[in-house]
Amino acid sequence: MHNLKFTALVLCAGLFALQSAHAEKADSSKPIELSADRGTLDQNNGVTVWDGSVVVNQGTLQLKADHVVVTRNTSGQQTLLATGKPATFRQKVEGKNEYIDGKGNRIDYDSLSGVTVLTGNAFVKRGQDSVAGNVITYNTQTELYQVSGSNPQTTGAAKGRVTVILQPKTEEKK
């Protein structure tokens, strides 16, 4: 099982590092627009809770979920928890006409560590390449992906498996 996780880690690191993919840098300086059926803002404790068809847009980044909780501590560190069936995100790759799409039943993000974790039917696609598993952990600072297979209690052919699809690399025309 350890060998399977290591192999998936190497494949996924190669998948997303092929062309040094970075999210659109300008997105972080854009305003955040959020819409939902209802929300609660607790400014004293730095917690906002959004429910019902939640859509968050910031530049080219779009997140959709059933429920989103954002916390912010006094030093400005933020965490985000999005859940849905599934929760999804999409963001443009810096300098390319290409997007990274992801989904999972749960998406956790920590702004301090730069780590995003997609859990439950997790799937990430960039161009024609994709990776799927039960949990996908992505460090936005190091661009390292880790993927683990389905729940160990799963039975049948899919038990503990991850799937990676890599397209052949072609030389770009000048």
Flag whether pLDDT at 36 surpasses 50.
yes
What pLDDT band is residue 64 in, cutting at 50, 70 and 90?
A: very high
What pLDDT band is residue 129 in, cutting at 50, 70 and 90?
A: confident
Q: What percent of the chain has pLDDT over 70?
A: 78
Contacting residues for 171 by C-beta, under 8 A, at least 6 apart: none
Flag whether pLDDT at 16 surpasses 50.
no
The model scores a pTM over 0.85: no
What pLDDT band is residue 158 in, cutting at 50, 70 and 90?
A: low
Flag whether pLDDT at 127 surpasses 70.
yes
Contacting residues for 9 by C-beta, under 8 A, at least 6 apart: 144, 145, 146, 147
Among 70-74, 111-115, 138-142, the range scoring the smallest mean pLDDT is 138-142
Distance (Å, whole) CA 145 – CA 150: 16
- Which tokens belong to 106? 């749960």
Higher pLDDT, 154 or 149: 149
| Dihedral (CA of 64, 163, 4, 155) sign | positive
Partners of 137 in the β-ladder: 117, 146
Partners of 115 in the β-ladder: 110, 139
Distance (Å, whole) CA 51 – CA 56: 12
For residue 78, CA distances in Å to 2, 21, 33, 166 come to 32, 23, 16, 33
The number of beta carbons lying within 10 Å of the beta carbon of residue 126 is 19
